[in-house]
Structure 1
Amino acid sequence: MDFALFHFLRSLIGRSPFLDDAVLFFARFFPYFIIFALFLFLLRKIHGWKKRLYVFLTLALSVILSRGIIVEVIRFFYHRSRPFLVLDFTPLFPAESFSFPSGHAAFFFALSFVIFYLDRRWGYWFLGASLLNGLARVVSGVHWPSDILAGILLGFFGFLCVYYFLNPKRAFLSKKESIQIE
Protein backbone atom coordinates (compact mmCIF):
# COMPACT_ATOMS: atom_id res chain seq x y z
CA MET A 1 0.00 0.00 0.00
CA ASP A 2 2.81 2.39 0.94
CA PHE A 3 4.61 1.61 -2.30
CA ALA A 4 1.46 2.02 -4.45
CA LEU A 5 0.49 5.34 -2.85
CA PHE A 6 4.04 6.61 -3.23
CA HIS A 7 4.08 5.76 -6.94
CA PHE A 8 0.71 7.41 -7.48
CA LEU A 9 1.82 10.64 -5.78
CA ARG A 10 5.24 10.55 -7.39
CA SER A 11 3.65 10.22 -10.84
CA LEU A 12 2.61 13.89 -10.54
CA ILE A 13 6.24 14.96 -11.04
CA GLY A 14 7.49 15.78 -14.52
CA ARG A 15 4.09 16.64 -15.98
CA SER A 16 4.55 20.38 -15.75
CA PRO A 17 7.39 22.66 -14.65
CA PHE A 18 4.86 24.73 -12.68
CA LEU A 19 3.69 21.69 -10.69
CA ASP A 20 7.28 20.60 -10.04
CA ASP A 21 8.12 24.10 -8.77
CA ALA A 22 4.98 24.16 -6.60
CA VAL A 23 5.88 20.80 -5.03
CA LEU A 24 9.42 22.01 -4.40
CA PHE A 25 8.09 25.21 -2.80
CA PHE A 26 5.67 23.37 -0.50
CA ALA A 27 8.27 20.76 0.46
CA ARG A 28 11.24 23.06 1.12
CA PHE A 29 10.16 26.66 1.60
CA PHE A 30 6.56 26.54 2.82
CA PRO A 31 7.67 25.50 6.34
CA TYR A 32 9.09 29.02 6.80
CA PHE A 33 5.64 30.44 6.10
CA ILE A 34 4.16 28.05 8.67
CA ILE A 35 6.62 29.35 11.28
CA PHE A 36 5.78 32.94 10.32
CA ALA A 37 2.07 32.14 10.71
CA LEU A 38 2.85 30.69 14.14
CA PHE A 39 4.32 34.02 15.24
CA LEU A 40 1.27 35.83 13.88
CA PHE A 41 -0.94 33.45 15.83
CA LEU A 42 0.98 34.10 19.03
CA LEU A 43 0.82 37.86 18.54
CA ARG A 44 -2.84 38.08 17.47
CA LYS A 45 -4.55 35.39 19.49
CA ILE A 46 -2.54 35.03 22.70
CA HIS A 47 -2.57 38.07 24.96
CA GLY A 48 -0.40 38.62 28.01
CA TRP A 49 3.14 37.49 28.59
CA LYS A 50 2.18 34.66 30.96
CA LYS A 51 -0.19 33.12 28.43
CA ARG A 52 2.33 33.55 25.62
CA LEU A 53 5.02 31.94 27.75
CA TYR A 54 2.71 29.01 28.57
CA VAL A 55 1.81 28.53 24.89
CA PHE A 56 5.44 28.84 23.83
CA LEU A 57 6.45 26.29 26.47
CA THR A 58 3.73 23.91 25.28
CA LEU A 59 4.82 24.33 21.66
CA ALA A 60 8.51 23.92 22.45
CA LEU A 61 8.08 20.86 24.66
CA SER A 62 5.74 19.18 22.17
CA VAL A 63 8.26 19.69 19.36
CA ILE A 64 11.25 18.66 21.46
CA LEU A 65 9.52 15.47 22.60
CA SER A 66 8.10 14.41 19.24
CA ARG A 67 10.81 15.60 16.83
CA GLY A 68 13.88 15.99 18.96
CA ILE A 69 13.61 12.86 21.08
CA ILE A 70 11.18 10.25 19.76
CA VAL A 71 12.00 10.64 16.04
CA GLU A 72 15.72 10.49 16.74
CA VAL A 73 15.41 7.42 18.98
CA ILE A 74 13.40 5.60 16.31
CA ARG A 75 15.90 6.58 13.61
CA PHE A 76 18.76 5.35 15.79
CA PHE A 77 17.26 1.85 15.85
CA TYR A 78 15.39 1.73 12.54
CA HIS A 79 17.22 2.75 9.37
CA ARG A 80 14.73 3.20 6.56
CA SER A 81 16.22 4.50 3.33
CA ARG A 82 14.59 7.34 1.49
CA PRO A 83 12.54 6.49 -1.63
CA PHE A 84 14.99 8.08 -4.07
CA LEU A 85 17.73 5.80 -2.75
CA VAL A 86 15.62 2.64 -2.85
CA LEU A 87 14.12 3.31 -6.29
CA ASP A 88 17.22 5.01 -7.74
CA PHE A 89 15.91 8.33 -9.05
CA THR A 90 16.85 11.97 -8.56
CA PRO A 91 14.59 13.71 -6.04
CA LEU A 92 13.48 17.32 -6.42
CA PHE A 93 15.92 18.21 -3.66
CA PRO A 94 18.57 16.33 -1.69
CA ALA A 95 17.81 14.88 1.73
CA GLU A 96 20.09 13.12 4.17
CA SER A 97 19.59 10.78 7.11
CA PHE A 98 16.88 8.16 7.32
CA SER A 99 13.29 8.73 6.27
CA PHE A 100 11.23 7.03 8.98
CA PRO A 101 9.56 8.74 10.71
CA SER A 102 9.33 12.15 9.08
CA GLY A 103 10.92 14.75 11.32
CA HIS A 104 9.20 17.54 9.41
CA ALA A 105 5.79 15.95 9.92
CA ALA A 106 6.43 15.32 13.62
CA PHE A 107 7.61 18.93 14.09
CA PHE A 108 4.81 20.66 12.21
CA PHE A 109 2.02 18.42 13.41
CA ALA A 110 3.13 18.84 17.04
CA LEU A 111 2.80 22.61 16.49
CA SER A 112 -0.49 22.18 14.67
CA PHE A 113 -2.12 20.06 17.37
CA VAL A 114 -1.18 22.60 20.06
CA ILE A 115 -2.67 25.39 17.96
CA PHE A 116 -5.75 23.29 17.17
CA TYR A 117 -6.28 22.77 20.90
CA LEU A 118 -6.05 26.53 21.50
CA ASP A 119 -8.05 27.74 18.50
CA ARG A 120 -9.90 25.40 16.16
CA ARG A 121 -10.10 27.85 13.24
CA TRP A 122 -6.36 28.54 13.20
CA GLY A 123 -5.72 24.89 14.01
CA TYR A 124 -7.46 23.67 10.86
CA TRP A 125 -5.25 25.98 8.79
CA PHE A 126 -2.10 24.74 10.49
CA LEU A 127 -3.12 21.09 10.14
CA GLY A 128 -3.86 21.65 6.44
CA ALA A 129 -0.55 23.44 5.89
CA SER A 130 1.34 20.66 7.68
CA LEU A 131 -0.41 18.00 5.60
CA LEU A 132 0.39 19.92 2.41
CA ASN A 133 4.06 20.01 3.41
CA GLY A 134 4.03 16.28 4.16
CA LEU A 135 2.41 15.38 0.85
CA ALA A 136 4.86 17.59 -1.03
CA ARG A 137 7.74 15.76 0.64
CA VAL A 138 6.31 12.44 -0.58
CA VAL A 139 5.77 13.77 -4.12
CA SER A 140 9.30 15.19 -4.17
CA GLY A 141 10.69 11.73 -3.43
CA VAL A 142 12.23 12.18 0.01
CA HIS A 143 9.58 10.37 2.09
CA TRP A 144 7.30 7.37 1.93
CA PRO A 145 3.63 8.02 2.84
CA SER A 146 4.03 5.96 6.03
CA ASP A 147 6.91 8.23 7.10
CA ILE A 148 4.47 11.15 7.07
CA LEU A 149 1.75 9.18 8.84
CA ALA A 150 4.19 8.17 11.58
CA GLY A 151 5.28 11.82 11.92
CA ILE A 152 1.65 12.90 12.29
CA LEU A 153 1.06 10.31 15.01
CA LEU A 154 4.27 11.25 16.83
CA GLY A 155 3.36 14.94 16.68
CA PHE A 156 -0.02 14.13 18.23
CA PHE A 157 1.59 11.88 20.84
CA GLY A 158 4.09 14.62 21.75
CA PHE A 159 1.28 17.13 22.17
CA LEU A 160 -0.75 14.72 24.34
CA CYS A 161 2.19 13.97 26.62
CA VAL A 162 3.01 17.65 27.10
CA TYR A 163 -0.66 18.54 27.59
CA TYR A 164 -1.02 15.98 30.38
CA PHE A 165 2.33 16.94 31.89
CA LEU A 166 1.36 20.63 32.06
CA ASN A 167 -2.27 19.93 33.02
CA PRO A 168 -2.20 16.80 35.18
CA LYS A 169 -5.64 17.38 36.71
CA ARG A 170 -7.44 18.14 33.46
CA ALA A 171 -9.01 15.60 31.16
CA PHE A 172 -10.06 16.04 27.54
CA LEU A 173 -13.70 15.90 28.53
CA SER A 174 -15.27 18.31 30.97
CA LYS A 175 -17.01 16.86 34.02
CA LYS A 176 -20.32 17.31 32.23
CA GLU A 177 -19.17 15.23 29.26
CA SER A 178 -17.08 12.66 31.09
CA ILE A 179 -18.25 9.17 31.78
CA GLN A 180 -18.89 8.56 35.46
CA ILE A 181 -17.58 5.23 36.70
CA GLU A 182 -18.86 4.15 40.11
Structure 2
Amino acid sequence: MKMDRALFEFFHSLANRAAFLDGLIGFLAVYFVYFLVAGLLFFLYKMKAAPRHKVFAFLTLSLGAVLSRGIFTEIIRFFYDRPRPFEVLNITPLFLDENPAFPSGHTALLFALSFALLHFNKKLGYWFLGFSLLVGISRIIAGVHWPSDILSGIVVAFISVWIVRLLLKKYEI
Protein backbone atom coordinates (compact mmCIF):
# COMPACT_ATOMS: atom_id res chain seq x y z
CA MET A 1 0.00 0.00 0.00
CA LYS A 2 2.93 2.36 0.53
CA MET A 3 3.95 1.95 -3.12
CA ASP A 4 0.36 2.54 -4.22
CA ARG A 5 0.18 5.76 -2.24
CA ALA A 6 3.62 6.93 -3.35
CA LEU A 7 2.73 6.38 -7.01
CA PHE A 8 -0.62 8.07 -6.51
CA GLU A 9 1.02 11.12 -4.91
CA PHE A 10 3.54 11.33 -7.77
CA PHE A 11 0.85 11.29 -10.47
CA HIS A 12 -1.66 13.42 -8.58
CA SER A 13 1.01 16.07 -8.03
CA LEU A 14 0.58 16.86 -11.75
CA ALA A 15 -2.99 18.07 -11.09
CA ASN A 16 -3.97 21.64 -10.21
CA ARG A 17 -0.97 23.19 -11.96
CA ALA A 18 -2.74 24.81 -14.90
CA ALA A 19 -6.40 25.09 -15.85
CA PHE A 20 -5.70 23.90 -19.40
CA LEU A 21 -3.91 20.76 -18.18
CA ASP A 22 -6.64 20.03 -15.64
CA GLY A 23 -9.21 20.35 -18.42
CA LEU A 24 -7.20 18.01 -20.64
CA ILE A 25 -6.81 15.47 -17.81
CA GLY A 26 -10.54 15.68 -17.09
CA PHE A 27 -11.35 15.14 -20.77
CA LEU A 28 -9.01 12.15 -21.03
CA ALA A 29 -10.25 10.66 -17.76
CA VAL A 30 -13.98 11.01 -18.45
CA TYR A 31 -14.84 11.61 -22.12
CA PHE A 32 -11.99 10.21 -24.22
CA VAL A 33 -13.40 6.70 -23.75
CA TYR A 34 -16.38 7.65 -25.94
CA PHE A 35 -14.12 8.79 -28.77
CA LEU A 36 -12.11 5.59 -28.52
CA VAL A 37 -15.21 3.40 -28.68
CA ALA A 38 -16.57 5.44 -31.61
CA GLY A 39 -13.22 5.06 -33.39
CA LEU A 40 -13.28 1.34 -32.77
CA LEU A 41 -16.79 1.03 -34.22
CA PHE A 42 -15.65 3.01 -37.26
CA PHE A 43 -12.68 0.64 -37.64
CA LEU A 44 -15.01 -2.36 -37.55
CA TYR A 45 -17.25 -0.76 -40.14
CA LYS A 46 -14.31 0.01 -42.46
CA MET A 47 -12.46 -3.24 -41.77
CA LYS A 48 -11.57 -4.98 -45.02
CA ALA A 49 -12.81 -8.45 -44.21
CA ALA A 50 -15.66 -10.77 -44.99
CA PRO A 51 -18.85 -9.95 -43.06
CA ARG A 52 -18.48 -13.07 -40.91
CA HIS A 53 -14.98 -11.92 -39.88
CA LYS A 54 -16.39 -8.54 -38.90
CA VAL A 55 -19.11 -10.23 -36.86
CA PHE A 56 -16.54 -12.43 -35.14
CA ALA A 57 -14.36 -9.39 -34.34
CA PHE A 58 -17.40 -7.49 -33.05
CA LEU A 59 -18.43 -10.45 -30.86
CA THR A 60 -14.94 -10.85 -29.43
CA LEU A 61 -14.65 -7.13 -28.65
CA SER A 62 -18.19 -6.86 -27.25
CA LEU A 63 -18.10 -9.99 -25.11
CA GLY A 64 -14.65 -9.12 -23.77
CA ALA A 65 -15.84 -5.64 -22.80
CA VAL A 66 -19.09 -6.86 -21.24
CA LEU A 67 -17.38 -9.63 -19.28
CA SER A 68 -14.62 -7.31 -18.08
CA ARG A 69 -16.53 -4.12 -17.27
CA GLY A 70 -20.09 -5.30 -16.90
CA ILE A 71 -19.64 -8.54 -15.00
CA PHE A 72 -16.24 -9.09 -13.37
CA THR A 73 -15.71 -5.46 -12.34
CA GLU A 74 -19.16 -5.24 -10.78
CA ILE A 75 -18.80 -8.57 -8.95
CA ILE A 76 -15.48 -7.45 -7.48
CA ARG A 77 -16.96 -4.08 -6.48
CA PHE A 78 -19.91 -5.80 -4.82
CA PHE A 79 -17.57 -7.71 -2.50
CA TYR A 80 -14.84 -5.08 -2.13
CA ASP A 81 -15.99 -1.48 -1.77
CA ARG A 82 -12.67 0.34 -1.91
CA PRO A 83 -12.86 4.08 -1.31
CA ARG A 84 -11.41 6.47 -3.86
CA PRO A 85 -8.27 8.49 -3.05
CA PHE A 86 -10.19 11.74 -2.57
CA GLU A 87 -12.35 9.96 0.03
CA VAL A 88 -9.30 8.84 2.01
CA LEU A 89 -6.86 11.70 1.54
CA ASN A 90 -7.47 15.38 2.07
CA ILE A 91 -7.56 16.27 -1.64
CA THR A 92 -10.01 17.75 -4.08
CA PRO A 93 -10.37 15.63 -7.21
CA LEU A 94 -10.70 17.20 -10.65
CA PHE A 95 -14.17 15.60 -10.80
CA LEU A 96 -16.28 13.34 -8.61
CA ASP A 97 -16.93 9.65 -9.14
CA GLU A 98 -19.10 7.92 -6.56
CA ASN A 99 -18.69 4.26 -7.54
CA PRO A 100 -16.18 2.05 -5.73
CA ALA A 101 -12.63 2.52 -6.98
CA PHE A 102 -11.46 -1.07 -7.32
CA PRO A 103 -11.04 -2.11 -10.07
CA SER A 104 -11.16 0.78 -12.51
CA GLY A 105 -14.16 0.30 -14.79
CA HIS A 106 -12.77 2.64 -17.46
CA THR A 107 -9.52 0.68 -17.51
CA ALA A 108 -11.26 -2.70 -17.52
CA LEU A 109 -13.38 -1.64 -20.50
CA LEU A 110 -10.65 0.01 -22.57
CA PHE A 111 -8.02 -2.65 -21.98
CA ALA A 112 -10.51 -5.41 -22.80
CA LEU A 113 -11.14 -3.69 -26.12
CA SER A 114 -7.39 -3.24 -26.62
CA PHE A 115 -6.49 -6.85 -25.86
CA ALA A 116 -9.28 -8.13 -28.12
CA LEU A 117 -8.31 -5.70 -30.88
CA LEU A 118 -4.74 -7.01 -30.85
CA HIS A 119 -6.07 -10.27 -32.33
CA PHE A 120 -7.50 -8.49 -35.36
CA ASN A 121 -5.19 -5.53 -35.95
CA LYS A 122 -1.92 -5.43 -34.03
CA LYS A 123 -1.00 -1.85 -34.97
CA LEU A 124 -4.36 -0.41 -33.94
CA GLY A 125 -4.38 -2.67 -30.87
CA TYR A 126 -1.06 -1.22 -29.68
CA TRP A 127 -2.38 2.31 -30.23
CA PHE A 128 -5.44 1.40 -28.18
CA LEU A 129 -3.22 0.02 -25.41
CA GLY A 130 -1.38 3.34 -25.28
CA PHE A 131 -4.58 5.38 -25.25
CA SER A 132 -6.05 3.08 -22.59
CA LEU A 133 -3.01 3.59 -20.39
CA LEU A 134 -3.30 7.34 -20.92
CA VAL A 135 -6.91 7.23 -19.68
CA GLY A 136 -5.88 5.17 -16.65
CA ILE A 137 -3.04 7.53 -15.72
CA SER A 138 -5.36 10.51 -16.22
CA ARG A 139 -7.77 9.03 -13.70
CA ILE A 140 -4.93 8.74 -11.17
CA ILE A 141 -3.85 12.34 -11.82
CA ALA A 142 -7.48 13.45 -11.42
CA GLY A 143 -7.54 11.91 -7.94
CA VAL A 144 -10.27 9.31 -8.55
CA HIS A 145 -8.16 6.12 -8.72
CA TRP A 146 -5.25 4.48 -7.01
CA PRO A 147 -2.58 2.97 -9.31
CA SER A 148 -3.61 -0.52 -8.12
CA ASP A 149 -7.17 0.19 -9.33
CA ILE A 150 -5.77 0.75 -12.81
CA LEU A 151 -3.52 -2.30 -12.65
CA SER A 152 -6.40 -4.49 -11.45
CA GLY A 153 -8.59 -3.21 -14.29
CA ILE A 154 -5.88 -4.28 -16.74
CA VAL A 155 -5.69 -7.75 -15.16
CA VAL A 156 -9.49 -8.14 -15.21
CA ALA A 157 -9.51 -7.11 -18.88
CA PHE A 158 -6.76 -9.55 -19.82
CA ILE A 159 -8.48 -12.46 -18.07
CA SER A 160 -11.85 -11.54 -19.61
CA VAL A 161 -10.52 -11.45 -23.17
CA TRP A 162 -8.59 -14.67 -22.57
CA ILE A 163 -11.83 -16.38 -21.47
CA VAL A 164 -13.76 -14.99 -24.45
CA ARG A 165 -11.05 -16.11 -26.89
CA LEU A 166 -11.06 -19.55 -25.28
CA LEU A 167 -14.86 -19.84 -25.55
CA LEU A 168 -14.99 -18.57 -29.13
CA LYS A 169 -11.96 -20.51 -30.36
CA LYS A 170 -14.01 -23.28 -31.95
CA TYR A 171 -16.10 -20.68 -33.82
CA GLU A 172 -13.15 -18.66 -35.11
CA ILE A 173 -13.16 -18.18 -38.82
Q: Which bin holds the TM-score, normalised by the shorter protein?
A: over 0.9
Q: 1:28 and 1:77 mapped to 2: Cα distance?
A: 25
Give the match for residue 167 of structure 1.
169
Aligned counterparts, 1:30-45, within 5 A: 30-45=32-47
Check if 1:69 corresponds to 2:71. Answer: yes
Aligned counterparts, 1:7-46, within 5 A: 7-46=9-48
Given that 2:47 and 2:54 are in contact with CA atoms closer than 8 Å, whether structure 1 keeps it comes out as no
Q: 2:120 and 2:99 mapped to 1: Cα distance?
A: 33
Report the 3-state secondary structure (helix = DSSP H, G, I; strand = E; otherwise coil) of the residue aligned with 1:118. Answer: coil
Match of 2:135 among 119, 129, 133: 133
Q: 1:157 and 1:138 mapped to 2: Cα distance?
A: 23
Aligned counterparts, 1:100-119, within 5 A: 100-119=102-121
Report the 3-state secondary structure (helix = DSSP H, G, I; strand = E; otherwise coil) of the residue aligned with 2:119. Answer: helix
Higher helix share: 2
Alignment size in residue pairs: 170
Q: One-letter code of the match for 2:140?
A: V
Report the 3-state secondary structure (helix = DSSP H, G, I; strand = E; otherwise coil) of the residue aligned with 1:12. Answer: coil
Normalised TM-score (structure 1): 0.89
Gaps of 5+ in 2: none
Give the match for residue 142 of structure 1.
144
Deviation at 1:35, TM superposition (A): 0.9
| 1:5-47 Cα distance to aligned partner (Å, 9 max, x none) | 0000000011111211111111011111101210121022243
Gaps of 5+ in 1: 171-182
Match of 2:81 among 79, 82, 85: 79
Give the match for residue 157 of structure 1.
159
Q: 2:140 and 2:48 mapped to 1: Cα distance?
A: 34
Give the match for residue 90 of structure 2.
88
Identity %: 49
Q: One-letter code of the match for 1:155?
A: A
Give the match for residue 61 of structure 2.
59
Q: 2:99 and 2:56 mapped to 1: Cα distance?
A: 33
Name the stretch that deviates more: 99-108 or 59-68: 59-68
Q: 1:64 and 1:46 mapped to 2: Cα distance?
A: 25
Report the 3-state secondary structure (helix = DSSP H, G, I; strand = E; otherwise coil) of the residue aligned with 1:95. Answer: coil
Q: 2:71 and 2:48 mapped to 1: Cα distance?
A: 27
